[in-house]
Structure 1
Amino acid sequence: MPLSEASRCFAFEADFTGSWRCIPLCVRRKLDLSGIKLKLRHWLALDQRERQQLVDWPDGPQALRDFAVHLEQRTAAMADGPVGELPIPQAPPWRQEQPPAGVTTALHAMGHSMSQGQWRRLSELERFALCKLVRPGHDHHNLVHALAEFKIT
């Protein structure tokens, strides 16, 4: 994934880009791929420059290892304690050849569908976003906006 995609923020995230009051999906993808659980309180404890640095961080294998080490060191002394560790997904759903069941179920409930070809045409970050936006218990209000932005109708 090119650096621009590693740091890409979506139009449907525009209400918090710049202020970085929420963790953007490009950073959440890097967190998942590096096995790091970063709480929103950790994120908000970082200054604006540090949050931007995490958005801009590349996502190659060594860069993700450096990302994890950086966050572990940076959060070690925070009031909420250091970041947590998560298993790094070996076969993440956003890298499957066809849309995962959660995505197709959520789209079907909205009167939409997605072919395997449509899924494959999406960037990895776009597929990641859809997987995150359809999770149970997640506020799905951005899903409609993501579908429009990704031109899925």
Structure 2
Amino acid sequence: MTPQAIDVVYFRFENDFVDSLRCIPMVVRYKLDTCGIKLKLPEWVKLSVTEKKELAVHPCFTADEREHYRYFLQNMVLKRCFHEASTLPPVDAAWEALNEVPAEVQQKAAEWNCASLTLVQWIRLDVLQRFALVKLSRSGHEGRNFPRALQEFGIA
């Protein structure tokens, strides 16, 4: 079963690659983390543009949707890459916390000479925006998109 055709809103800071989907967009990264699958870039590039778009629109919010997404994705990777996708250990879902702004986000803001985020600003962000800031704060992610994201989200 494939998801209904709906528009996916990608972040503007992803404009460098979102037209071609050569990199995994945040909306898909969020779904990967929530369903416990690690999709490697070599696996991602073997998927068709249509399959990548399906992964972006496929629902992955409830427990049933996460299980279906995991099954859907595993079958897709098996079909294209001839092996199962790796699973992730439980992730620290700091983006779900609404009682404080994660320290890693505040630290990254300081590194970029951006103002610290207030708790009110953090709470006003939607879950995908909070996820993006947490991911962009962690090592291994291109740092130049962090201030772009803050600006896009109306914080900087």
TM-score, normalized by the shorter chain, greater than 0.5: yes
Larger CA deviation: 13-22 vs 116-125 = 13-22
Corresponding residue of 1:93: 94
Does structure 1 conserve the Cα–Cα contact (< 8 Å) formed by 2:32 and 2:38?
A: yes
The runs of at least 4 consecutive aligned structure 1 residues that moved more than 6 Å come to none
Corresponding residue of 2:133: 130
Q: TM-score, normalised by structure 2?
A: 0.87
Amino acid at match of 2:101: P
1:3-152 matches, cutoff 5 A: 7-61=8-62, 62-79=64-81, 81-89=83-91, 92-97=93-98, 98-111=100-113, 112-152=115-155
**Number of aligned residue pairs:** 148
Amino acid at match of 1:101: A
Deviation of 1:145 (Å): 0.8
SS in 2 for 1:27: helix
Amino acid at match of 2:148: H
Give the distance between the partners of 2:41 and 2:139, measured in 1 at CA: 19
Percent of pairs identical after alignment?
36
Relative to structure 1, the CA distance from residue 132 to residue 80 in structure 2 (aligned partners, 3 Å threshold; closer, same or farther) is farther
Root-mean-square deviation (Å): 1.9
Residues 5-38 of structure 1 show CA distances to partners (whole Å, capped at 9, x for unaligned) of x943101111212311000000000000000000
Q: TM-score, normalised by structure 1?
A: 0.88
Residues 44-100 of structure 1 show CA distances to partners (whole Å, capped at 9, x for unaligned) of 1011111111111112322221111111122225447321011344x6100112211
Does structure 1 conserve the Cα–Cα contact (< 8 Å) formed by 2:109 and 2:147?
A: no
Q: List alignment gaps of at least 5 residues for structure 2.
A: none
Q: List alignment gaps of at least 5 residues for structure 1.
A: none
